[in-house]
């Protein structure tokens, strides 16, 4: 019998799946993806090409993760979460799915799937969620936004916003590099890494034309 420590990752349709990971029948894991130790990908879940799921990740049935994402150790992605391409999920992040959680019904019966309606977290392309943050569904995190470590997100986050705290509040803007943007006047914001220029319009950030 081969010990776990010496076991080699197995190939599943050109994805790399660790020996102790569980990818249920009916789940799709795209080419070039990596699924590491003790991670569970439930039936009906989709994991995009080139995405990495770290140790102990849970991906619920029907959850969808895009291409080239990184989901770090112990993150919990409950269905029906949707993650766009290039999303970063830090260690121990939780994406919830129950607005009014209870283990039992009002008559004391243990709740089943028919007794509640899951709601999901949507994270758009390129956004990042820092370690141990909690996103309370239903919320949408916009493209290239950043959620600070330990934050609790209870409302939608605009594209390019930098939010922190509990509940999370916007404290700045970020570009595609993830580095906070610098203001040169009231409405223009510049990425110190790429030089990209953005303008703030009615509380939203847009690329300058």
Which residues, in sequence order, are bridge partners of residue 200? 205
For the chain, what's the residue count?
209
Residue with tokens 């390129």: 126
- Pair type for strands 10-12 and 28-29: unpaired
Q: How far apart, in whole angstroms, are the C-alpha atoms of residue 158 and residue 10?
A: 40
End-to-end CA distance of the chain: 62
Q: Is 124 a catalytic site residue?
A: no
Query: Which candidate in 65, 87, 160, 198 is catalytic?
Result: 160
Spatial contact of 95 and 80, defined as CB atoms under 8 Å apart:
no
Enzyme catalytic residues: 160
């Amino acid at each position: 019998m081969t010990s776990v420590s010496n076991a080699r990752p197995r190939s599943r349709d050109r994805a790399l799946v660790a020996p102790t990971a569980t990818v249920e029948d009916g789940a799709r894991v795209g080419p070039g993806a990596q699924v590491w130790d003790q991670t569970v990908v439930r039936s009906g879940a989709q994991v995009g090409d080139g995405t990495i799921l770290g140790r102990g990740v849970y991906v619920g049935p029907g959850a969808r993760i895009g291409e080239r994402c990184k989901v770090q150790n112990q993150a919990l992605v409950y269905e029906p979460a949707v993650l766009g391409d290039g999303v970063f999920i830090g260690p121990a992040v939780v994406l919830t799915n129950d607005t009014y959680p209870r283990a039992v019904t009002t008559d004391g019966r243990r709740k089943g799937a028919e007794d509640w309606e899951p709601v999901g977290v949507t994270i758009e392309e390129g956004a990042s969620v820092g370690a141990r943050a909690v996103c309370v569904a239903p919320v949408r995190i916009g493209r290239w936004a950043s959620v600070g470590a330990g934050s609790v997100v209870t409302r939608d986050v605009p594209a390019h916003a930098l939010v922190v705290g509990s509940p999370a509040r916007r404290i700045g803007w970020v570009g595609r590099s993830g580095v906070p943007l610098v203001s040169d006047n009231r409405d223009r914001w510049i990425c110190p890494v790429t030089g990209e220029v953005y303008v703030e319009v009615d509380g939203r950030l847009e690329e300058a034309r």
